[in-house]
Amino acid sequence: MSLKKNILVSSLIGIGLATVLSFLASLTMAIGEYSQMLAGLVLVGLGFGLPSIVYQNDKLAPAYQAMKKYDYIIIGSGPAANHLLFKLARTDRTALVIENNLWGGTCPNTGCQPKIFLEGAVRPVLNTYYLTGKGVKAAAQLDWKTLIKRKKEIWAEFRAEERSSIESDQVDTVFGSGVITGPHTVAAAGEEYEGINIIIATGLLPHHLEVPGSEYAITNDEFFDLDELPKKAVVIGGGYVALELATILQAAGSEVTVLQHSEKLLRTFDQEYVEKLTEMMEERGIAIHLNMPVKAIAKNSAAYEVTAENGQKFETDLVIDASGRRANVDGLGLEKLGIKFDPVKGVAVNEHLQTNVPSIFAAGDVADNGQMNLTPVAWGDSYHIYDFVENGLTEGIKYPAVATSTFTYPQVAQVGKRESEMAEGDTVRRMKLGSTFAALGEGDEEAELKVIFDKDGEVVGASEISINAGEDINLFAPLIGRKDPAEFAMNNLGFAFPTLANKLDVLFR
C-alpha cells in the first residue's frame, strides 16, 4: 500500500474512532465538558501523532517506519565485502550488505573459483599429453558433461548458503540494486537506509564488444555452466581470461581459435614467457591470431560466423567475448553526488580509499587504486578501511608485492618487476627449471625462472613459466625488497627438498 493510501486510511481510522468516543463521552456526565477535548486528542493521536495502524499485505502493520541505520552499508558481496565483515564481526558494529546478482561476487561464482575447479581436471589431461611416450601410454580424456554436472551440484550448495553465511545479529542483507542517494543514504529494493560509512564494492563486469551481433557472444558469466562442449569455439581477447578459457576448451576436446585485436597477449606479464606459452598452446592445436580485431558476429542456421576487420571469417559453434572487463558503476548514483569515476578504471579514491565524498569509500576491483585487479588487493583495501575508520589509522594504504599467475598450461606467474621494467644497475638471474629431475618427471621441460635484483642486491621481481608457477611465485613475494635475500632464505625458508626448495638455488648464484 502506498504512503498516500496509508495516510488516508490511518486518518479515517483516527476520525472514526474519535467520533465514536466523542459520542460515548457525551452520554457520560462524568466526562462532561471534557468530552470534546478527549475526542480531539484521540483524533490527533490516532490520525497524526502515534504510529498509525493500517492494512498492509493482508496483515495489520505500522504505516510509518523510521529509516534503518547502520555503521556500514556495503554495496556488493564479493571478497572486499566479506573481508571487511570478518573484521567487523569482532566489534559491535552493524552492517547492511546489498547485492543485485550472485551472493559472493564474481570470484567464487563466475571467476577464479570455478576456473580453478575446472583447471583441476584440465591439468592431468595436459600433463599426460606431455608425458605420452615418456612412461604414459596415452593422454587422459576429459568428460565435459560429468565435470559440469559435478560443478553445478557443488555450486548449488555454495549459492544456497552464501547469503545466510553473511547474515548475523549485526549484519543484514538486501537483494536489489543499491543507489547512493546522499553522503549517508542508500536506496535498495524500495527502501532507503542510512549508514555512517558507505562502501562501494561492486567489482567489475565483462566488457561487451560494440560490434553487430555482439549479443551472440557469451562471457565468463555463462561459460562455467555450459552443458554442451562446443565442437568449435572462438575466444575473443588476449588477456588471462581469454587464454584460460581457451586452455580449458582445447583440453576438453574443442577446436579453439583465439582472436586478439593487438600484437601482444598477456600484456602485463613477462613477454618472453608469454611467447613460449603461445608456442606451446599453438603446438597443442589452439589457433592464435594477433592483430585480428573483430568486425561482426552473425548467426546462421547451423552456427555462428565471426568476421574480422580484414575480412577473414571464422565459423564456430560458440563465441566467447573475453575482450576485457570494466568497472561495475552503472546505476550507483555517482553522477548525482559528483563522485569521480572512470567507466573502465573505476571509482577515484585517495590513500584511504575514500571518494571525494569522505563518508563514501570504494574497495576492490571497482576502486581506481592504481593496483592490479586481484583478490588479495581487495582484501587489503578492506583491512585498510577498517583500520582507518575504527582505529584512526593516519598512514595511507601501502600494498605489498602481490603475486599473480595465469592458470593456463603451463602457467606464467610473476611478482614485482618484469625484465622489461629493469632499471639501470638491475641484474637478472635465470634458472632452467626444465632440466631439474622434478620437471623432467612431469614433462615440464620448458620451465624457467628468472629473478631480478637491483644494484644493491635486493630482489625486486621474479617471473616463472612452468606447470607449477602459480604456487612457486609465492615463494618470492616475501623476498621483494630484502637486501639479504640469500641469507634470509637460508635462515628462514626451510622447504622440503627437492620441491620448491630446489628453486631457491637461483638466489645463491
Give residue 398's Cα distance to chain centre. 21
Higher pLDDT, 21 or 313: 313
What's the rounded mean pLDDT across residues 79-85?
98
Q: Which amino acid is at 348?
A: A
- Grid coordinates belonging to 260: 586478439
pLDDT digits (tens, 9 = 90+) for 250-279: 999 999 999 999 999 999 999 999 999 999
Whole-number Å distance between alpha carbons of 242 and 254: 15
381 burial level (CB within 10 Å; 0-12, 13-18, 19+): buried
Helix/strand/coil percentages in the chain, nearest 5: 40, 25, 35
- CA-based R_g, the chain, Å: 30
Q: What does the mean pLDDT of the chain come to?
A: 89
385-394 CB contacts, 8 Å cutoff, 24+ apart? 385/84, 385/197, 385/199, 385/352, 385/353, 385/361, 386/84, 386/87, 386/88, 388/352, 388/353, 389/197, 390/87, 390/91, 390/93, 393/352
User: Cell match 596415452: residue?
Assistant: 138
Q: What angle do CA 203, 208, 209 make, to 5 degrees?
A: 145
Whole-number Å distance between alpha carbons of 230 and 260: 20
How crowded is the C-beta side of 40, counted as CA atoms within 13 Å?
Answer: 5
Q: What is the pLDDT of residue 225?
A: 97
Contacts of residue 248, defined as CB under 8 A and 6 or more positions apart, other chains included, come to 115, 118, 119, 122
pTM for the full model? 0.86
Nearest to 75 by CA among 328, 324, 325: 328
Q: What is the pLDDT of residue 389?
A: 98
3-state secondary structure 98-158: EECCCCCCHHHHHCHHHHHHHHHHHHHHHHHHHHECCCECCCCCCCHHHHHHHHHHHHHHH
pLDDT digits (tens, 9 = 90+) for 210-249: 999 999 999 999 999 999 999 999 999 999 999 999 999 9
Asked whether 460 and 480 are in contact (CB, 8 A), the reply is: yes
What's the rounded mean pLDDT across residues 109-133?
97
Q: What angle do CA 386, 376, 246 make, to 5 degrees?
A: 150
Whole-number Å distance between alpha carbons of 238 and 406: 12
pLDDT exceeding 90 applies to what percent of the chain?
80
Whole-number Å distance between alpha carbons of 281 and 289: 12
Residue 80 binned pLDDT confidence (cut-offs 50, 70, 90): very high
Residue 65 binned pLDDT confidence (cut-offs 50, 70, 90): low
How crowded is the C-beta side of 432, counted as CA atoms within 13 Å?
Answer: 5
Asked whether 152 and 227 are in contact (CB, 8 A), the reply is: no
Is the per-residue pLDDT at 63 higher than 60? no
What's the rounded mean pLDDT across residues 405-416?
98
